[in-house]
Structure 1
Amino acid sequence: MLNDLLFWLFFELFCRQIHWILPNILSWGMNSSVWSSLKGKHVVITGATGELGRELVKILSEKDVKLILVDTNEHKLTSLQEKLKLKNVISYIHSVNFNSENDFSFLDIYENIGLLINNTDFYKNPSLYLEEDDDNLISVNIRSTTRITRRVLEKMIERKFGFILNLGSFVSEMPFPYNASYAGSKAFLRSWSHSLHYEMKRFNIEVEYVESTFVLGSKKILANGILNGFGSTKHLVSCFPLFVMKCLLVFCPDFVLGRAVEWFHRKFHLEKRLEERNKRKMVALKKVYL
């Protein structure tokens, strides 16, 4: 009886996930041909100096491509470029403010961009919605991503070739209380990427949404999964821990997941911060009266 129940549970899980499992397996199998087609071309990566960005750059430096590194901190970009020079890797750096109305026109000088990796991410610790920084979050997570993609797509369409990876999160598919705007920005990114995936097919351009967060372990595993798995699927689950998590989430109803996340964020973030704030006030009062 128990064996039958487990069998049907796994069978249902498989049926629910088959629509993305098979394309992911296929994409992993075809990845080597993707890198052959990108040989000698430019690769743009935003958020290049972040933890995941550095791991992506490290792997890309071993490929036969030229790197265009985009981020906010010029000092960190220069330091990263110096390390790449020691490996004889051709790289270009651009320091930008992702919060501004940047049109990314500096990319027009590069005629042969084959891959764009949108890796910018604005995230803050959980807080009440009224305390969230909506403007900056939307500017970084949505506006800057759509603008740089539009800029790069123009020439990709002319050449009828290119790959665009939009790095997202599992929160795009689940309730995420006390980070409502962040979850909404990732949901936008997912839907927008999926739509562009089909729109750009006729131009021989692959647009993919990549599950790239909520993974235990090093960012190296995640970076390897992303760069060794993309190429022919609209939605890439980039490594095994994420694969397992995505499968498990299927069995968790939204109302259970939403309440669990709400409790966790409230208990370990909001209440903890309030407690620390009260402690600081008490210390300050003691200093005044001593």
Structure 2
Amino acid sequence: MAVEFGLALVERQPRGPLNNWLDDLDTLLPILDGHFQSLWMTDHLFWQDWFTFEAWTALCFLAARWPSYQVGSMVMCQSYRNPALLAKMAASLQVLSQGRLLLGVGAGWKEDEYKGYGYPFPPLSARRGQLEDTLEILKRLWTEPGKVTYQGSHYSVTEAYCEPKPDPLPPVIVGGGGDKTLMMAARYADWWNVSDKNFPAYQQMVAKLHQDCASIGRAPSSIRLTWFGRIVLGATEAEAVELGQSGLLKWTRDNAFVGTPEQVIEQMRPFVELGVDYFMVEVLGLPDKRILKMLLEDLLPQIKQMRVGG
């Protein structure tokens, strides 16, 4: 399988003209079509006082406006939407988009959002348990005929229908690198993802995921390995480093791919050799024409030629 790319769209921006975000997409997405297979939103309710788009609303908009792309969540916070409703929302979007949804789900982490919007913020152990119930409810509502009943430790459904069923089923992406989350990925995930990790940390998580798969009799190769994060390109290393330090969040080689196209190729190579064949990336500086040229001419073609798994 060849390496594929998804474009991560920043759902937040400093307060300013809202049409800038749409204008950038209108400029970029026709150019990137064919180079990127999908568009991705993260799931946040606010980020300081910046403009922040609600993720599911944005995914529906993107699916309708740019029908040549798949759309994905990285990742939907299980706490923000009742899991049965999330299953229904996902089934509806999958049907209406003709099979273009990629559904990432995670336990949730951003405490200020929970408290700001009135959601309880339970301990991590409880949020992981909620995630497991969510994954179980998604699968059951999508696949079991007729009425579905499930009583979990945190969430339940009682004689619930989910029609029409999504066909094909959206890939379920479990996001997270903790030991218990990795076991959930082994049990439920079609794809696995973790964000902003360097190669040694990522490699260690993959080893644990594969051990968990083996312990339950699942082939590790049945789970697609993906990576979500940032690419920071520059004509020189110094230029890329400066760009990575220019925003609210700081991006270095410890949590992103940073450098010239040639340097970024070598940073990404071990991931591909390990088996990663899907990168969901925010490319800092777009739609700057210089960065766009480096991305499309000097970086993506070389990565896509790599042999996945070495």
TM (norm. structure 2) is 0.32
- Structure number, greater radius of gyration: 1
